[in-house]
């Protein structure tokens, strides 16, 4: 009877029964969820380890197995020649392999002498990497323009100086960095000693000049930061240079000891702007300059050897945590004033991670010996050395995890480079005209403007290129034409209807300007193309058609040829000419 009564009540109140059933089910579900969560909290799942953490563990394992001597060797970047006491190294040899077992250096810097062909270069970089227990940093100076090792040897994408692309903005800076990175990676390099963060403020100096991205600090900061992103996205370590700024010097540190008398407050407001912005952009490496700042460093040593500049300013004040490198310790600023071995020891004490020794076998041995002896005497902070080597190994492990590089110097790369070179040509003033077979082309050959520039300059001269293009006459002078050369040029110009002159840092050489004035005095239609420094054009007569091309290289020549055939010069000159 009871069950019958229950079912009668249930049928009369079926909606309420359904509600009660649903509530009961939800209560059970809630209990189950709470129990499961409690179990999860008590026994958490392990967090997946990041690739960076894995790489750091691998670096520490490698570091723990190293002797003190092996750690010291990791702090050195050398030319292969510095290990063999022979000529230019173009392939792995038994002597080089044996030397690498004795001196397991941290990296190599290759120059044009190490490059004879693309196939040979790939084989060399591969052999160097395989010969080292800790895969080395394989580095090169590849900035574009007059500092370009691969472009002029194995024929990678030809780029002008970065200054010439200033008007193309951040996209141009990013694209150029991508091109440089892809090109060098295709030949086995993993590190580029670029971009240049110095600002071209000393117009009479060739040490930096058109290697800079700008002569304006804020603009340089913007463009250099874009370049840092370009290198990073291409998987290549870029090394910003030359901290805290080399653009205001009158002396090339390859030849002498530059000096800048600014206080630190002035650097904060000017030179440090591009470096600070690049650090914010995540630049992985910075190269110190061999510049003396006597009002900041009381010990009268250059930045490379100054703990106040390396550790105090760069590491502590600017908060930089990446790799810190020296410029070459065989340059005149160090070798002639302090001594290379002594300079290397001082730079490590100052806090740098990697000291670069170029190609002198005796100096490399003396420097390695000096560093080892200093370590034995306890002159180095052991923890700092360990931290530097661990940092170096972490970057190497990161590079080892990168994807294989793709093809370089593709047709689209070359088209983009030539398009940018064409867009950069700036018309300053004057009346355009078309060149033809009755045009006289004149100017100096390229020359090595600074110690870091390519040794041979451009193999093609501007006058000869143009004369060949137009079926005209040409005359090539030295970089500072004397009176006899000027008279010879004037005699050859007599039979021509028009004159086109190419200058190369003519504002530094009275002979180039004297030649320009003498040719302009003939009264014939005349154009002058400034092939490096646009300041050449500020001292020329108003009657001259003035063009700024910014680089003594074939891409600039091709762009000018198009303009001399009637094309328009649409670039914006990045500086104000008086």
* CA 108 from centroid of its chain's CA atoms: 16
What is the Cα–Cα distance from 350 to 288, expressed in whole angstroms? Answer: 11
Through-space distance between the first and last CA atoms of the chain, rounded to whole angstroms? 115
What is the Cα–Cα distance from 353 to 391, expressed in whole angstroms? Answer: 8
What is the Cα–Cα distance from 350 to 309, expressed in whole angstroms? Answer: 8
Residue 456 in tokens: 């041979």
Contact 112, 131 (CB under 8 A): no
CA-based angle 83:88:91, to the nearest 5? 80
Q: What are phi and psi of 405, to 5 degrees?
A: -65, 150
CA-based angle 167:170:174, to the nearest 5? 120
290 is catalytic: no
Residue 230 in tokens: 């370009």
The active-site residue, picked from 198, 210, 327, 551, is: 327
Residue 112 in tokens: 């044009």
327 is catalytic: yes
Q: Which residues contact 353 (CB under 8 A, 6 or more apart)?
A: 75, 323, 324, 325, 388, 391, 392
Residue 394 in tokens: 């972490």
Identify the helix (H) or strand (E) that includes residue 176.
helix 169-185
| Residue where the block lists tokens 């290198």 | 231
What is the Cα–Cα distance from 577 to 352, expressed in whole angstroms? Answer: 40
Q: Is 372 exposed, middle or buried (0-12, 13-18, 19+ CB in 10 A)?
A: middle
CA-based angle 495:501:506, to the nearest 5? 140
**Alpha carbon distances (Å) from 195 to 154, 273, 410:** 21, 15, 22
Contact 555, 526 (CB under 8 A): no
Contact 323, 285 (CB under 8 A): yes
The active-site residue, picked from 254, 436, 480, 562, is: 254
What is the Cα–Cα distance from 371 to 345, expressed in whole angstroms? Answer: 6
The partner residues of 239 in beta bridges, in order of sequence, read 285
Residue 548 in tokens: 């700024």
3-state SS class at 444: strand
Catalytic residues: 254, 327
């Amino acid at each position: 009877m009871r069950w019958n009564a229950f079912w009668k009540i249930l049928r009369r109140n079926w909606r309420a029964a359904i509600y009660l059933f649903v509530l009961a089910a939800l209560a059970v579900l809630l209990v189950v969820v709470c129990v499961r969560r409690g179990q999860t909290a008590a026994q958490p799942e392990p967090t997946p380890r990041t690739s960076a953490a894995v790489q750091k563990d691998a670096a520490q394992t490698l570091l723990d197995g190293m002797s003190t001597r092996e750690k010291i060797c990791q702090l050195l970047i050398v030319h292969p020649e510095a290990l063999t006491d022979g000529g230019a190294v173009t392939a792995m040899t038994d002597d080089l392999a044996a030397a690498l077992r004795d001196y397991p250096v941290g990296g190599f810097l290759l120059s044009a002498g190490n490059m004879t062909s693309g196939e040979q270069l790939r084989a060399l970089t591969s052999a160097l990497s395989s010969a080292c227990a800790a895969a080395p940093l394989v580095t090169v100076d590849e900035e574009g323009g007059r500092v370009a090792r691969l472009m002029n040897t194995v024929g990678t994408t030809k780029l002008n100086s970065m200054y010439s692309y200033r008007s193309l903005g951040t996209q141009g800076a990013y694209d150029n960095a991508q091109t440089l990175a892809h090109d060098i990676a295709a030949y086995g390099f993993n590190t580029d000693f670029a971009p240049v963060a110095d600002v071209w403020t000393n117009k009479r100096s060739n040490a930096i000049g058109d290697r800079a991205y700008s002569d304006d600090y804020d603009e340089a900061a913007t463009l250099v930061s874009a370049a840092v992103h370009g290198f990073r996205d291409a998987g290549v370590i870029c090394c910003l240079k030359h901290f805290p700024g080399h653009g205001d010097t009158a002396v090339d540190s390859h030849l002498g000891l530059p000096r800048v008398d600014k206080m630190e407050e002035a650097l904060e407001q000017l030179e440090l702007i591009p470096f600070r912005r690049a650090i914010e952009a995540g630049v992985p490496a910075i190269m110190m300059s061999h510049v003396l700042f006597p009002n900041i460093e009381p010990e009268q040593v250059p930045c490379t050897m100054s703990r106040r500049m390396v550790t105090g300013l760069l590491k502590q004040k600017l908060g930089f945590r990446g790799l810190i490198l020296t410029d070459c310790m065989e340059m005149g600023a160090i070798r002639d004033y302090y001594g290379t071995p002594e300079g290397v020891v001082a730079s490590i004490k100052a806090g740098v991670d990697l000291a670069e020794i170029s190609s002198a076998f005796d100096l490399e041995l003396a420097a390695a010996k000096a560093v080892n002896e200093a370590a034995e005497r306890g002159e180095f902070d052991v923890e700092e050395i360990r931290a530097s080597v661990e940092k170096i190994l972490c970057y190497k492990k990161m590079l080892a995890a990168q994807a294989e590089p793709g093809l370089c110097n593709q047709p689209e790369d070359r088209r983009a480079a030539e398009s940018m070179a064409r867009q950069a040509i700036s018309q300053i003033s004057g009346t355009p005209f078309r060149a033809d077979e009755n045009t006289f082309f004149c100017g100096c050959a390229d020359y090595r403007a600074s110690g870091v520039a390519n040794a041979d300059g451009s193999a093609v001269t501007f006058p000869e290129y143009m004369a060949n293009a137009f079926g005209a006459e040409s005359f090539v002078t030295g970089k500072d034409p004397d009176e006899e050369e000027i008279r010879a040029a004037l005699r050859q110009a007599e039979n021509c209807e028009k004159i086109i002159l190419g200058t190369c840092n003519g504002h530094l050489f009275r002979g180039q300007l004297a030649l320009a004035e003498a040719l302009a005095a003939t009264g014939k239609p005349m154009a002058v193309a400034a092939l490096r420094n646009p300041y050449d054009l500020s001292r020329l007569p108003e009657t001259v058609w003035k063009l700024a091309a910014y680089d003594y290289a074939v891409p600039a020549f091709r762009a000018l040829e198009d303009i001399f055939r009637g094309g328009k010069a649409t670039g914006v000159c990045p500086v104000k000419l008086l």
